[in-house]
Amino acid sequence: MKKLIVDKKYDQKKLNKFLQDSIPNLNNNLLYKTLRKKDIKVNGKRVHENITIFENDVIEVYITDDLLENKVELKIVFEDENILVIDKPSGIEVTGSNSLTTLIHNQYSNCGFLPMPCHRLDRNTSGLVLYAKNQKTLDILLNKFKNHEIEKHYLALVFGKPKFKSQTLTSYLFKDSKKSIVYISDEPKKGYSKIITSYSVLEYNSNGTCLLDVEIQTGKTHQIRAHLAHIGLPIVGDGKYGNYEINKKLGFKTQQLTSYILKFNFSTDSGILKYLNGKEIKK
138 and 195 both lie in a single domain = no
Is residue 51 situated within a structural domain?
Answer: yes
pLDDT band at 22 (very low <50, low <70, confident <90, very high): confident
212 and 157 both lie in a single domain = yes
Range of the domain at 205: 153-259
- From residue 171, give the alpha-carbon distance in Å to each of 20, 103, 220, 230: 31, 36, 12, 10
Catalytic (active site) residue 57: no
Check 21, 57, 122, 238 and give the catalytic one.
122
255 and 234 both lie in a single domain = yes
- Please write the tens of the pLDDT for every residue from 132-148: 999 999 999 999 999 99
Is residue 271 situated within a structural domain?
Answer: no
- From residue 34, give the alpha-carbon distance in Å to each of 26, 49, 70: 10, 10, 18
What's the rounded Cα separation, in Å, for the pair 108 and 113? 9
- From residue 135, give the alpha-carbon distance in Å to each of 114, 118, 131, 138, 140: 10, 11, 11, 5, 9
171 and 255 both lie in a single domain = yes
Strand partners, 193: 173
- Please write the tens of the pLDDT for every residue from 265-279: 999 999 999 999 999
Is residue 47 situated within a structural domain?
Answer: yes
Is 71 a residue whose pLDDT tops 80? no
Is residue 115 situated within a structural domain?
Answer: yes
Average pLDDT over residues 247-268: 95
116 and 63 both lie in a single domain = no
- Please write the tens of the pLDDT for every residue from 35-66: 988 999 999 999 999 999 999 999 999 887 65
If one counts every other C-beta atom within 10 angstroms of the C-beta of residue 134, the result is 17
226 and 253 both lie in a single domain = yes
Is residue 268 situated within a structural domain?
Answer: no
Domains in the chain, number: 3
